[in-house]
Every structure is written in C-alpha cells, then in structure tokens.
Amino acid sequence: MEIEGGGKEKKIFEIRRLDTSDKSKGFIELLQQLSVCDSISDEEFKERFEELSKNGENHMIYVIEDEEKKKIIATACLFIEKKFIRNCGKVGHIEDVVVDSNARGLKLGQKIVDFLSDKARSMGCYKVILDCDEQNVGFYEKCGFQKKGIEMAMYFN
C-alpha cells in the first residue's frame, strides 16, 4: 500500500511485508531504537523470518522503506489471536511500532498503525489492541485508541 508522508516535503512511501533483504537495510538497527534487540547473524535472521512466515496472515511484520536511501524507516507487527469468546472471534495485536528517529514527524507511525488497524478489521477481528509506554498514550489516542484496563507484565530475564 502506498502512503504519503507528512511534513514539508511530500514523499510517497510503501507499506509492505518484511522481506529477508530488509536486514541489510537496517531493520535490526531500527528495532534497537525501540527496545533491547541484539545484533543477529544473517542466518539467525533468515531462520526467524522463515519461522514467522509459516504463520501466514496470523503474524505479519510490515515495514516502510526509504527507497532512495535503501533503509527501513518504520515497522510494526500485527498478529491475530483466535478466541473461543465472541463466537470464535479474533483479536488483532499491534506490536513493535517504531519509526526511525530521523524520519519522525512524517506521520509514518500513524500511517502504519492505521494500516494495521484496517488490516485487522478486514481479517474479521472484533478489536485491535496494543500496549505502550505512558509517554506514547497521546500518539495512540490520535490513532483512535483509548486507554482500557491496565497492562501487566512478567519478564523472565
């Protein structure tokens, strides 16, 4: 899907599925701007990519590439949880949303979140949810999300 980036200079970007070639375009370095993400070998990347690919449309990682620079500048993940409740309903989970620090202000984060929300709706999800840090609540409210409940976590390392 093509989108127009905001900001002073209008530029067309494409939202597309992650590809194995994206590792060499800075995908891992982009994730490092979000959270702990150690460097991984090309082989490790390929193995994980193939493992995730087996999930088909139940686990999708999308990216936005600056094609002039051959660099991944935004990414987010959507995975689909199948439930028994709500007549065997489905829930979309948005994860790992990050825009490169040099590309912020172009509204790419909002565009990719909107894209994934629409994707979840088109796949029959009755809702889409995400967790975020308190400092990001305003951003997600602009994307149409509302605070609901409390996130709980248990980390194992």
pLDDT at 65: 97
pLDDT at 129: 97
- At position 22, the amino acid (one-letter code) is D
pLDDT (mean) for 131-147: 94
118/100 Cα distance (integer angstroms): 23
- Residues 4-61 pLDDT 10s: 766 566 788 999 999 999 999 999 999 999 999 999 999 999 999 999 999 999 999 9
Instruction: Give me the residues paired with residue 80 across strands.
Output: 92
Is residue 2 pLDDT above 70, yes or no?
no
Sequence-separated (6 or more) residues with CB below 8 Å from residue 144? 114, 117
What value does the mean pLDDT of the chain take? 93
Sequence-separated (6 or more) residues with CB below 8 Å from residue 137? 147
DSSP, collapsed to helix, strand or coil, labels residue 81 as strand
Shortest CA distance to 25 belongs to which of 58, 68, 78, 56? 68
The structure tokens listed for 135 are 């400092």
Pairing relationship of beta strands 11-17 and 2-5 according to DSSP bridges: antiparallel
The structure tokens listed for 21 are 């070639």
33/111 Cα distance (integer angstroms): 19
pLDDT at 121: 97
**Count of other CB atoms within 10 angstroms of residue 142:** 12
